Amino acid sequence: MSFEQCQRITSLMSGFDKTWFFAGGWAIDLFIGEETREHKDIEIAVFRKDQFYLKDYLKEWDFKMVLKGKFHTWDHEFLDLPIHEIHASNLLSGDKMEILLNETKDNDWRFRRDLRISYPIKSIWSVTETGIPYLNPEIVLLYKAKNTREKDHQDFNAIKDYLDKEKRKWLQFALEKHEPEHKWLQFLQ
């Protein structure tokens, strides 16, 4: 298990004293413990309430928010929904990453596309044996269920047999609410 890119970002984030974790395809692979496909980008997630802490922590980075599919400079305004995606680049090192803002309320994580879907905050991420935090796969797959691409199907197929009964049941429940016709549902029963 190399996960060199993830280890580099984990080192970068080691002094950040708020919750953060890898998201997207990397999170799936971190859960499995091996790289199952090529990744063209790297995504981390933070809680929306911590966005300014992250921006202050990554002082040398340039930030662009995504609004209606277009990049805009992110000055220092608080980003509310529907904005949830930020692209950051370090001009000195050439490093780039996508940052996804996650919703919370009280002690729950909430799915930004359907706020009826939630999960206890303390249960949404895990950490590898080498200390790399990642968003749990059932939540990653819920995000990937909308406008599912080939790589999303690859991620589902790679992870579905690793999901325990509780994770499968939660994903099935969430998909039935959010994407009731999704073809993954037939594999979760």
Is position 171 within any domain? no
Residue 119 neighbours by CB distance under 10 Å: 17
Is position 139 within any domain? yes
SS3 of 173, please? helix
Q: Which tokens is 101 given?
A: 């803002």
Q: What are phi and psi of 73, to 5 degrees?
A: -60, 135
Give the Å distances, CA to CA, from 18 to 9, 29, 70, 183. 15, 23, 28, 36
Per-residue model confidence as pLDDT tens digits over 68-122: 999 999 998 999 999 999 999 998 888 899 999 999 999 999 999 999 999 999 9
Is position 114 within any domain? yes
Per-residue model confidence as pLDDT tens digits over 17-38: 999 999 999 999 999 999 999 8
- Has residue 2 got a pLDDT over 80? no
Is the CB of residue 27 less than 8 Å from the CB of residue 140? yes
How many Cα atoms occupy the beta-carbon half-sphere of 13 within 13 Å?
24
Q: Please give the tally of structural domains in the chain.
A: 1
Per-residue model confidence as pLDDT tens digits over 117-176: 999 999 999 999 999 999 999 999 999 999 899 999 999 999 999 999 999 999 999 999
Q: What CATH number should be reported for the domain holding residue 87?
A: 3.30.460.40
Is position 177 within any domain? no
Give the β-pairing of 70-73 and 61-67.
antiparallel
Is position 111 within any domain? yes
Q: How far is Cα 109 from Cα 176, in angstroms, rounded to an integer?
A: 18
Is position 178 within any domain? no
Residue with tokens 């994770």: 167
Is position 169 within any domain? no
Q: What are phi and psi of 93, to 5 degrees?
A: -95, -20
Is the CB of residue 132 less than 8 Å from the CB of residue 7? yes
Instruction: Report the predicted TM-score, pTM, of the whole model to 2 decimal places.
Output: 0.93
Is position 39 within any domain? yes
